[in-house]
Amino acid sequence: MTTEFHDDPEDESSSFWNKERPPVLLSVSRYRRWACPALTTVVLFALIVALAASNSRTWNRLWSVDQDLSIMNRSLSNTEQMSSDSQKEMMRLKFAVENNKDTLSSVSQALQQLSTLDSLKRTVASLRCSLQQIMNNGSQGAGCCPLGWDPSGSSCYYFSKDSLSWHEARDHCSSMESQLAILVSDEDWDFVSQHATRNFLWIGLSDERTGKWEWINHTPYVMNRRRWRPGQPDSWLGHGLGTGDEDCAHLHNDGRLNDLHCSTRLRYICQRHTQ
């Protein structure tokens, strides 16, 4: 009968171990099986989030750079437009200058022709005067000036090309039956001033003889400050040209008077009456 009851401790033990241990092993295995992908997923997610944040910052920077480039492009476009406008303006001005140059050249040629005509006119007048002199057996007609002299009013004026001291100029004029110019009327002043634009010119005015300004024929000079340059006459002593101050008057290139030391060599104006 005992043999009918069979109780095998080994089997029970085996059964116990076989039935209880697998769930523990399964749990660890499951844990390991899911832990790794989960961790991987978390890491990947973190990387994605980090990349997304980084991409967002990069995108913002790119957008900012794009905005800057747009502004620079607009600025460059405006600059190109301004450059184009400036170039057109320069071309227009160049064209205007070229046109004006032609006009000025024409005016210059016309003035030169007029000057030539004026010179010819004076020459013809002198020749006519000489012809009348021959026809009148040596006595010249009224209103004539010698060749190389310019008529104005009742006088003939000689504007020298050489330079002499005041006394040498006085003597040279005298040798041509004339004197250093005496300017009385406004017409006289206006006429000689037109010839004083480039050179200093001695005239017949001095205070050397009496210390008072007088004309070369000893007639007194009535002081007119309007005819003198500012601060003149100043009788300057610092000229370094010998004794005495500035005793002789000359026309400055603006047509007004200044006193200089008489030994200074200047061009000069001789004057004589028309014949």
Contact assessment for residue 255 and residue 198, using Cβ atoms and an 8 Å cutoff = no
Part of the chain binding Ca ion (CB under 5 A), chosen from 30-38, 130-138, 206-214, 246-254: 246-254
Part of the chain binding Ca ion (CB under 5 A), chosen from 128-136, 157-165, 188-196, 254-262: 254-262
Contact assessment for residue 261 and residue 195, using Cβ atoms and an 8 Å cutoff = no
Write b or e for each residue in 87-103: b if 16 or more Cβ atoms lie within 10 A of its Cβ, otherwise e: eeeeeeeeeeeeeeeee
Q: Is residue 259 involved in binding Ca ion (CB under 5 A)?
A: yes
Part of the chain binding Ca ion (CB under 5 A), chosen from 37-45, 62-70, 182-190, 234-242: 234-242
DSSP state of 57: H
Q: Could you tell me the two tokens for 193?
A: 């001033």
Q: Could you tell me the two tokens for 152?
A: 């104005």
Can you tell me whether residue 251 is helix, strand or coil? strand
* Smaller CB separation from Ca ion, 159 or 236: 236
Q: How far is the CB of 163 from Ca ion (least distance, A)?
A: 18
Q: How far is the CB of 186 from Ca ion (least distance, A)?
A: 24
Q: What is the dihedral of CA 255, 257, 259, 264, to 10 degrees?
A: 20
x/- binding map, residues 191-230, to Ca ion, per CB under 5 A? ----------------------------------------
Q: How far is the CB of 170 from Ca ion (least distance, A)?
A: 19
Contact assessment for residue 233 and residue 246, using Cβ atoms and an 8 Å cutoff = yes
Name the residue with tokens 């001095």. Answer: 206
Part of the chain binding Ca ion (CB under 5 A), chosen from 49-57, 98-106, 257-265, 267-275: 257-265
Q: Is residue 234 involved in binding Ca ion (CB under 5 A)?
A: yes
Q: Is residue 237 involved in binding Ca ion (CB under 5 A)?
A: no
The footprint of Ca ion (CB under 5 A) covers 232, 234, 236, 246, 258-259
